[in-house]
């Protein structure tokens, strides 16, 4: 069995490392004033990947916390994927210019599919990740504050046909709730698209959840709150590294 890729998340509001519950900004909890120190600690324990989300950017419709991204990229060798507020060509250039190896686009893929497809063609499927944030089977946008009329599976089918190879799929109802990931959902996605590099996000509460995702054949897992709340320790993660 291939080892699952570990991708800790650093979510940013006002330049600080925070977590939300179910995407609700009113549920914000600050875990660190300096996200760079969090990133350095992760790297020191063998972590190689990082998922950075600009929650201010998602709410403002443009990249906001690019200086934090630049610091993390400049002072670690972590491979960073960045999302939140990437709406324009300029936002994309800022993200890549500040050190992101990959950029995740979710809302843009719903509202401006031609732009997202152009980015995919221009930068390639290894650098452009599709964000598929789902609530009750439907894609959510704008930092999860808005719904859409796009159903998850046709949305995925469409973009896989257009060349998407990497997808972050977050079950919003589980995000930050520490109640376990949506394993059946991820199995369904991989059954339909077995070649997809699926990054499962939302609900991870323990190292057992990571083991269950690995057993289900999920290639990659994003997690945050369980780590910051001490339910998962960096030492426990060593079995996957």
Q: Which of 171, 206, 220 lies closest to 22 in space, CA to CA?
A: 171
**Per-residue burial over 62-88, b = 16 or more CB atoms within 10 Å of its CB, e = otherwise:** bbbbbebbbbbbeebebebbbbbbbbe
Residue 171 annotated to the active site: no
Nearest 10 degrees: CA dihedral of 63, 68, 71, 73? Answer: -60
What pairs with residue 173 in β-bridges? none
Residue 142 annotated to the active site: no
Cα 119–Cα 121–Cα 123 angle in degrees, nearest 5: 60
> Catalytic pick from 54, 56, 81, 133?
133
What pairs with residue 24 in β-bridges? 21
> Catalytic pick from 11, 54, 56, 81?
11
What Rg do the C-alpha atoms of the chain give, in angstroms? Answer: 16
Residues labelled catalytic:
11, 133
């Amino acid at each position: 069995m291939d080892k699952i890729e570990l991708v800790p998340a650093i979510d940013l509001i006002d330049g600080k490392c925070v977590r939300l519950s179910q995407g609700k900004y009113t549920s914000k909890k600050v875990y660190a004033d300096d996200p760079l120190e969090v990133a350095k600690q992760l790297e020191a324990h063998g972590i190689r990947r990082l998922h950075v989300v600009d929650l201010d950017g998602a709410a403002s419709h443009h990249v906001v916390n690019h200086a934090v991204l630049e610091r993390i990229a400049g002072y670690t060798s972590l491979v960073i994927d960045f999302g939140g507020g990437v709406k324009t060509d300029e936002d994309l250039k800022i993200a890549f210019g500040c050190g992101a190896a990959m950029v995740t686009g979710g809302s843009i893929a719903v509202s401006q599919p031609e732009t997202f497809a152009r980015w995919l063609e221009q930068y390639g499927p290894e650098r452009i990740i599709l964000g598929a944030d789902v609530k009750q089977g439907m894609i959510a946008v704008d930092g999860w504050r808005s719904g859409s009329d796009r159903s998850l599976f046709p949305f995925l089918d469409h973009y896989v046909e257009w060349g998407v190879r990497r997808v972050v799929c977050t079950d919003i109802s589980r995000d930050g709730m520490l109640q376990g990931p949506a394993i059946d959902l991820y199995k369904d996605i991989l059954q339909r698209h077995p070649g997809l590099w699926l990054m499962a996000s939302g609900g991870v509460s323990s190292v057992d959840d990571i083991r269950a995702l690995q057993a289900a054949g999920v290639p990659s897992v994003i997690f945050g709150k369980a780590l910051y709340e001490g339910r998962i320790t960096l030492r426990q993660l060593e079995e996957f590294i």
